[in-house]
Amino acid sequence: MGPGREGLSRDRRVTIGLRQEIHDRLWGAFQRWQELRATGITKRDLKLRGLREAHDPNRYTRPLLFARETARSYEGVLKDFVEMAEREFGITRLDDLGKREFRAFMDRAIERGLSAKTLQRMSSALVKGGCLIGRSASYIALGERYARKIRELLASGVIDGPDRETPSPEVARRAIDLLREWDACHFKHTDAPRAYHLVARLQLETACRSISATTRATAESLREDNAIMLSAKGGRLERFVLSPELHRLLSAYLRTYGGRLADQDGYRMAYKRAIEAAGGRVTGTHGLRRLSAQEFYLGRYRAAVGDGLSPAAAADRAAGDAIERLGHSRNRADHRRAYLGH
């Protein structure tokens, strides 16, 4: 057995206490959203309420967390943050955290040469943490300041940009073929069904996130007319029309075996192996989401040109449609760059 609590140093007890409080507040924020969601309230409802009552769309979303994965990601960053604050500034209570600690944490992360994506995630975690400890205004302002700084460092080449690898259509389809073979082999040797190839096809046809295509895809998700309803970020339900073949395969699999379509972690590992075996480079299943968005954009662009729009107007409309299909605001320039490259 390890030492009892009385055997721990005071500093260690403080660190444990701060880490536990961070955990409790983050998961409390997620639980509050789950309770609201159970009443039928959506994230959009909360944003509209904020606009109506305070001209601030985030007024009622700041104390909430909308995804379990986000809570886990932020928890790691915030635990490192409070450990630094306790070790170097003597902070013993979350309420004592201020701008000094935020700046020190981010400045040191920048000095370490971390990528823009990592720095952005760290800053977002600190801002959310500030909103959960009564530091909303100051931490939001600092978050905006560091967002500008990260963009400047990225533009100047001081830090690396996000490593976004989008597989070519040929590599993606070879990988799906491999996943289908591996799934069949797995079933042959274990009698356990597996549908990683169907998950990959679902991502490619809908541009959904991997969690939507795995743990959130069930027999109840299927609809008539080749449609499927998938739970996206924030619990929002989105309707997609699938190819008749994929809808038939999903229906047969889910109604035969029940439950969710696949385990998300297992799918991610299998996808990585398949992409590498197909001759591609892997940075995650989000590559299928980007490929799907780009193929959708090209289809929309050709249709818009066919309707008589100029190339520039057609590109703008098609980009807006593609980004909106991903669940984002159609005018978000950052998402256009991230998914479409323009």
Question: Which residue, 95, 120, 155, sits at the end of a domain?
Answer: 155
Higher pLDDT, 129 or 42: 129
Same domain membership, residue 86 and residue 15: yes
Grouping H, G, I as helix, E, B as strand and the rest as coil, residue 253 is helix
Residues 298 and 329 in one domain: yes
CA distance readout (Å), 138 to 45, 64, 70, 220, 267: 26, 18, 22, 44, 40
Q: What angle do CA 42, 48, 51 make, to 5 degrees?
A: 150
- Mean pLDDT for the chain overall: 91
Averaged pLDDT for residues 305-320: 95
255-270: average pLDDT:
95
Is there a domain that residue 164 lies in? Answer: no
Q: Which of 155, 180, 212 is the last residue of a domain?
A: 155
- Residue of higher predicted confidence among 322 and 69: 322
Do 265 and 310 have their domain in common? no
The confidence score (pLDDT) of residue 15 equals 66
pLDDT tens digits, one per residue of 217-256? 999 999 999 999 998 766 678 899 999 999 999 999 999 9
Question: For residue 161, what pLDDT is reported?
Answer: 67
pLDDT(12) > 60: no
Q: Is residue 13 in a domain? A: yes
Judgement on whether residues 231 and 246 belong to the same structural domain of the protein:
yes
> For position 159, what pLDDT does the model report?
81
Residue 340 lies in a domain: yes
In a domain, 162, yes or no: no
- The average pLDDT across 17-41 equals 94
Confidence check: pLDDT of 11 > 70: no
Give the other-Cβ count within 10 Å of 52's Cβ.
10
pLDDT surpassing 80 at residue 8:
no
Residue 255 has what pLDDT?
94
119 and 144 in a common domain: yes
Q: 267 and 329, same structural domain?
A: no
Is the same domain home to 298 and 338?
Answer: yes
The pLDDT assigned to 116 comes to 86
pLDDT value at residue 282: 85
* pLDDT tens digit sequence for 105-159: 999 999 998 888 899 999 999 999 999 999 999 999 999 999 999 989 988 888 8
For residue 3, what pLDDT is reported?
A: 45
169 vs 221: CA distance, rounded Å: 27
Does 306 lie in the same domain as 229? no
Q: How confident is the model at residue 335 (pLDDT cuts 50, 70, 90)?
A: confident
Please indicate, yes or no, whether residues 274 and 196 belong to a single structural domain of this protein: yes
Verify that 146 and 173 share a domain, yes or no.
Answer: no
Q: Are residues 138 and 15 in the same domain?
A: yes
Nearest-angstrom CA–CA distance, 314 and 298: 10
Domain end position, chosen among 284, 306, 321? 284
208 assigned to some structural domain = yes
Structural domain for 225, as ranges: 169-284
Q: Where are the alpha helices (DSSP H) in the chain?
A: 10-38, 43-54, 68-89, 99-111, 116-132, 136-155, 169-190, 196-206, 210-213, 244-257, 264-277, 286-306, 311-325, 333-340
pLDDT computed for residue 235 by the predictor: 66
Same domain, 35 and 138: yes
pLDDT-above-90 percentage for the chain: 76
Q: What is the pTM of this model?
A: 0.66
Phi-psi region at 327: left, alpha or beta (left = phi > 0; alpha = psi -120 to 50): left
* Token pair for 181: 């073979």
Q: What is the CATH number of the domain that holds 210?
A: 1.10.443.10
The predicted-structure confidence for 165-214, as pLDDT tens digits, reads as follows 899 999 999 999 999 999 999 999 999 999 999 999 999 999 999 999 99
What mean pLDDT is predicted for residues 39-55?
91
| Number of domains observed in the structure of the chain | 3
Residue 264 pLDDT greater than 80, yes or no: yes
